[in-house]
Amino acid sequence: MKTKEISRPGKINKPRVNVVTLGCSKNTYDSEVLMGQLKGNLFDVVHESEQVRSDDIIVINTCGFIDNAKQESIDTILQYSELKEQGKVGKVIVTGCLSERYKPELEAEITNVDAYFGTNDLQNLLSTLGANYRHELIGERLLTTPSHFAYFKIAEGCNRPCSFCAIPLMRGKHVTKPIEELVKEAQYLARNGTKELILIAQDLTYYGLDLYGKRNLDDLLRRLSDVNGIEWIRLQYAYPSGFPMEILDVMNERENICKYLDMPLQHISDNMLKSMRRGITRQKTIDLVNAIRDKVPGMAIRTTLITGYPGETEQDFEQMQQWVEETRFDRLGCFTYSHEEKTHAHSLVDDVADQVKQKRADAIMEIQQGISFEKNQEKISQTYKVLIDKKDGGYFVGRTEFDSPEVDNEVLIDAGKHYATVGSFVNVKIDSAEDFDLYGQIVK
């Protein structure tokens, strides 16, 4: 990992901080900012080191999104507080979404945690550790991803009323980060070897409305695209209603903006979209996907769906199945509905049985597996620009511009026949393909 620019006058012995990150890429980003601040304050800081020390300060950045994620966060807190009981770690600090949402309950239930913080509590957390928030470090952070790609949070919070979603309860209202600050951050990352920026927010397409009085993700994209060294810019978490079509012009205009769009759509039946308060109809959703594909030929669209939402009938679900078959998304993920207290949907009856929720999600993923296989066959004999993420076993593993890390397809190159540097771009001719993986060889 490339050494960082965070300045550290005169090293002083302080307990090591071992940061553990759960949940989504926005949490990863927040952990990296925290680690950058701690490093700037002379702390020895590591990410998820398994070799714990008896004086370690463990900071757990939790997720409070849906049932499974909440359970994972609670298990992790219990695991480390148990280690503390055994004297194997020093302090346990909990922050992030679960702590923001359930602080009183957690304080009452798991009492040997030293302190609980919310999602917007960085300065308090730092001062509790004896560190000062250093403004001059804004935009500087310690990456936990391979340094050639970085998650890039352009806004915090969300103003949308989606009935099933607890995120606004944990992350608050939408707050756009100023363009100048983001450009400075991108320049810092590029100087430190980052080539791919993965733009994230709760609602990417709302960017600018609160700060500039207009949607101006297009302006931001042009400014980031001008940053020297940034070769790929990827968009995640777009929202369909009020979608700013002008960003597609920038995509067509700029070579270094990936023809990739992640846009959770959640459902397609009007009955469900209305109850979910998504602010869009079935027909408008279909028209939007077609318009995006017309405007940017070859665009890879990723989406996320929910099965088993209250009141979802067999007919609603059949509509979803048929739509997924017809639309042939390039990438798709599917969640089962989670009945989250204090959300609007919590006032509805959670009437779809868990096994039915799961059976429907499995059925959707089975359709998608077939579509992904067929689409991957079409890539055989094509050559793609691939970013090498790692060496794994006998393969170099990378991604095309149509693939996000951790969730999408991978390109595997036989390391016995080819050599590539992690973090570099190579051209790969695809020889064979499976449901979610491509195999190929490096060509000039």
Restricting to residues 94-153, name those near ligand SF4 by CB under 6 A.
Answer: none
Minimal distance, residue 417 CB to ligand SF4, in Å? 44
Which of 405, 397, 344, 413 lies closest to 200 in space, CA to CA? Answer: 405
Question: What residues contact 253, with CB distance under 8 A and at least 6 apart?
Answer: none
Q: How many residues bind ligand SF4 (CB under 6 A)?
A: 9
3-state secondary structure of 257: strand
Task: Give me the residue label for tokens 């979910």.
Answer: 276
Task: Give me the residue label for tokens 């992690």.
Answer: 422
Minimal distance, residue 237 CB to ligand SF4, in Å? 7
Partners of residue 28 on adjacent β-strands: none
Minimal distance, residue 167 CB to ligand SF4, in Å? 4
Candidates 113, 162, 263, 433; binder of ligand SF4 (CB under 6 A) is 162
Which is nearer to ligand SF4, 169 or 183 (by Cβ)? 169
Residue 168 is a binding residue for ligand SF4 (CB under 6 A): yes
Partners of residue 235 on adjacent β-strands: 199, 261
Which is nearer to ligand SF4, 64 or 423 (by Cβ)? 64
Residue 93 is a binding residue for ligand SF4 (CB under 6 A): no
Which of 330, 335, 305, 332 lies closest to 320 in space, CA to CA? Answer: 305
Minimal distance, residue 35 CB to ligand SF4, in Å? 25
Which is nearer to ligand SF4, 276 or 397 (by Cβ)? 276
Residue 160 is a binding residue for ligand SF4 (CB under 6 A): yes
Burial 330-360 (b: 16+ CB within 10 A, else e): bbbbbbbbbbbeebebeeeebebeeebbeeb
DSSP 279: S
Candidates 137, 165, 182, 280; binder of ligand SF4 (CB under 6 A) is 165
HEC per residue, 199-225: EECCCHHHCCHHHHCCCCHHHHHHHHH
DSSP 266: B
* Cβ atoms of residues 112 and 84 within 8 Å: yes
Residue 387 is a binding residue for ligand SF4 (CB under 6 A): no
Residue 203 is a binding residue for ligand SF4 (CB under 6 A): yes
Which is nearer to ligand SF4, 14 or 344 (by Cβ)? 344
Residue 158 is a binding residue for ligand SF4 (CB under 6 A): yes
Taking contact as CB under 6 A, which single stretch among the options 18-26, 163-171, 184-192, 340-348 is the one that binds ligand SF4? 163-171
What is the per-residue DSSP string for 60-109?
A: EEE--SSHHHHHHHHHHHHHHHHHHHTTSSSEEEEEEHHHHHHHHHHHHH
Candidates 129, 155, 167, 280; binder of ligand SF4 (CB under 6 A) is 167
Taking contact as CB under 6 A, which single stretch among the options 144-152, 164-172, 247-255, 415-423 is the one that binds ligand SF4? 164-172
Taking contact as CB under 6 A, which single stretch among the options 74-82, 165-173, 300-308, 323-331 is the one that binds ligand SF4? 165-173
Restricting to residues 341-370, name those near ligand SF4 by CB under 6 A.
Answer: none
Minimal distance, residue 300 CB to ligand SF4, in Å? 21
What x/- string results for residues 224 through 243 when contact with ligand SF4 is judged by CB under 6 A?
Answer: ---------------x----
Cβ-based neighbour number of residue 117 at 10 Å: 21
Which is nearer to ligand SF4, 158 or 250 (by Cβ)? 158
On the 0-12 / 13-18 / 19+ scale of CB atoms within 10 A, 115 is middle
Taking contact as CB under 6 A, which single stretch among the options 81-89, 162-170, 177-185, 360-368 is the one that binds ligand SF4? 162-170
d(CA 27, CA 171): 11
Cα separations in angstroms, 186 against 40, 41, 189, 287: 19, 22, 5, 34
- Interacting residue ranges for ligand SF4, rule: CB under 6 A: 158, 160, 162, 165, 167-168, 202-203, 239
